[in-house]
Amino acid sequence: MTDVAIRATNLTKWFGEGETRTLAVRGVSLEARFGEMVYIVGPSGSGKTTLLSLISGILRPNEGSVEVKGKDIWRLGKDEIADFRLKTIGFVFQDYHLFPRLSTVENVAIPLILKRVEWGQALAQALRYLDIVGLKGRAHLPPVKLSGGEQQRVAIARAIVSAPDILVFDEPTASLDGDTGRKIIEFVKTQVLNEHRSILVVTHDARIFEYADRVVKMEDGRLKSIVEGRAA
């Protein structure tokens, strides 16, 4: 296996046409390797989340290409790219996106159900991953009964339950206090990241920069710099 998990080349994305056209991402090229956590940072409106969406197969670029594990994802058909995302990429969102009417363990089991894993087997596997994030004892509670940090750990368990090669975090600590946010990211760095997985994190939170292997800085839709994490 190549050590390059993601290779984005000359990515450009605009919204609207003519005089109303807005360039969100302008010719960005970068790589993310297996075994590393890469942060994408910059001020609001700099194109961070748009870039993340282009890389993870949510938004189609107007120009450029994205290779994930050597596969040019934007050459895939609509159904193929949806299947590729399901099998390869795990998402953790700022607002958790947990289903309030489902229990914690049922929330974690969702990616497995989508992959047609039998219900009982999916719940058993979800319980194992809740144990990994320290929440097995909260398995049958609804999300509303959990703290913000616990809900974020449920979201992480859901993202990793199907063993994706790529994990994508969009502002994972924005709704958490500083101490909880650092604990969550430290957990991700020490327990979730491994040599077969690459993690991308969009964040404004300078308090967690120390956990990055590399930091990609964006400004006005452009890649401004790429620096080693501790130098950020």
Domains observed in the chain = 34-46+77-231 (3.40.50.300)
- pLDDT of 1 over the 70 cut: no
**Predicted TM-score of the model (pTM):** 0.88
- How far is the C-alpha of 106 from the C-alpha of 140, rounded, in Å? 8
- How far is the C-alpha of 167 from the C-alpha of 136, rounded, in Å? 22
Q: Give exposure, 88-115, as e/b (b: 16+ Cβ within 10 Å).
A: bbbbbebebebeeeebbbbbbbbbbeee
Q: For 56-76, how does the pLDDT look when each residue is reduced to its tens digit (9 = 90+)?
A: 999 999 999 999 999 999 999
- Please enumerate in sequence order all residues whose Cβ is within 8 A of that of 145, keeping only pairs 6 or more positions apart, or say none: 138
> Distance from CA of residue 179 to its chain's centroid?
21
- pLDDT of 232 over the 70 cut: no
Question: Are the CB atoms for 85 and 152 separated by under 8 Å?
Answer: no
Question: Are the CB atoms for 1 and 34 separated by under 8 Å?
Answer: yes
Q: Which segments within 127-189 are labelled E, that is strand?
A: 166-170
